[in-house]
Structure 1
């Protein structure tokens, strides 16, 4: 290929040029402008609400939801940029790196919520100690992200070259996301065991009514993140020219939609408002109060 053609490709990679007929993009398509704007708006609104909510309730750890939304906004801003500049390497790298990282912040928040539920319901509700969820699974997330970031950098640098070999980077990314899927699968199994124990031992009866919807929100969020992880694993395993990665509708539905549901559900049911401070103690106090009323009756009798 001539030097003039190479220079032209390099100019496309750093500038802003519309789609050229017959010349493919790193995406395999041109990202839809409407989808980019819509998800930037949705995640932006969720970020604003989460920030106001964790500040108002002083639930500082819940800031991870705001951070995750901010990272999602950056990713979808990159895709919005790519809708006008589909060959720009910076825009492509911006979206691929941030949209891989963002769900990690959401899972970190879920680990904290599950750990708090275990503290409230008692050690018998879980196979693991509450603190282990955060340490074990966040560590796994960080490891998988580092591997994916290395692979993404390798693959992206080759994708911008003429006849570049993206296979090593792609295989590294797949290894990272498979490891992430494995760790999330283990977490889902542990969470399912927690649900089974809580129902079998009737531990949820000790919690206030407002905590039950939050319990359901946590399950919904985990399922959305798990669906997204399965999709991304299959997508990357097919390679950069695979069917899923070159058809945007799957990404919009199985990544964008899943993630907005996973984080927005906690806007509706924010843990700062719905997670009891001490459900077990509250339950005991309620029982004690009833006993005192019954014992202090003038006739010494108890109500039926």
Structure 2
């Protein structure tokens, strides 16, 4: 029968025995979701979705490590694997949706309606995402060292808050672009069969899910290693695993493959030119 075992000098990595059935269930569903996403990426050649698939694979590895840790609570590797993979996977999800917004803006010729130029938008948000990944990864790595526990939690909190700030700016950029495009009388001429609005709604949904999950993680680490959220298993599944699974489902359901098609775009035609042409025809 499995029991909690100390890692070193009476220091316990786990506050509870991780559930094998729960971990195995999410291990399987994330593997299925990732496999379906990879198939869709390959079929449509939508390579910008690759980071999302990598994030899904990280979730799979993380929950597989949790399942294996049930009888190895005194071992370092399973704990580190599950902690870092599950903590960092949403950062890869975010990288994909940042790239999608830039593609939407360029595909609809809506550069004039974006508060950040598309060529800078993806670079800005992906860079911010990479910094968040580095900060959270550093904190996650230090969490296994007892004397650096509080420092590690503080570092992870900084990374999560930074991610939330970046998400706030991203959502503001997407919302303002969406509203301005809706108010533009030539939108119908430049979008063609590009399903840009459903894609934006998908971005909103995934962004909200990741942001709520990040807020949960902030509260979790603020409460500390002995707090209820880190000492109890069910909140991880309800407020982290489930939202990230829903994010993957939403991304797959409203997959941005139409952004790869160029047949319906009016290449080289500016919004102002289209407006002028429409006015001249009247």
Q: TM-score interval w.r.t. the shorter chain?
A: 0.7 to 0.9
Deviation at 1:77, TM superposition (A): 1.0
Deviation at 1:200, TM superposition (A): 3.2
Alignment of structure 1 residues 259-274 onto 2, 5 Å: 259-273=244-258
Q: Secondary structure at the match of 2:266?
A: helix
1:188-217 deviations in Å (ceiling 9; x for gaps): 222222232233336764533744332322
Q: How far, CA to CA, are the matches of 1:72 and 1:267 in structure 2?
A: 16
Which residue of 74, 83, 86 corresponds with 1:99?
86
Does structure 2 retain, via aligned residues, the 8 Å contact 1:231–1:254?
A: yes
In the alignment, structure 1 residue 56 sits paired with structure 2 residue 38: no
- The number of aligned residues is 266
Q: How far, CA to CA, are the matches of 1:81 and 1:21 in structure 2?
A: 14
Which stretches in structure 2 are left out of the alignment for 5+ residues?
A: 275-282
Report the structure number with the largest CA radius of gyration. Answer: 1
In the alignment, structure 1 residue 18 sits paired with structure 2 residue 2: yes
Which residue of 77, 82, 101 corresponds with 1:114?
101
Give TM-score scaled by structure 1 length: 0.78
Cα distance, 1:205–1:229 mapped onto 2, change above 3 Å? farther
Alignment of structure 1 residues 55-204 onto 2, 5 Å: 55-121=42-108, 122-158=110-146, 164-201=147-184
Q: How far, CA to CA, are the matches of 1:20 and 1:93 in structure 2?
A: 16
Which stretches in structure 1 are left out of the alignment for 5+ residues?
A: 1-16, 159-163, 289-304
Deviation at 1:73, TM superposition (A): 0.7
Q: Secondary structure at the match of 1:166?
A: helix
Does structure 1 retain, via aligned residues, the 8 Å contact 2:48–2:100?
A: no
Does structure 1 retain, via aligned residues, the 8 Å contact 2:104–2:196?
A: no
CA-based RMSD? 2.9
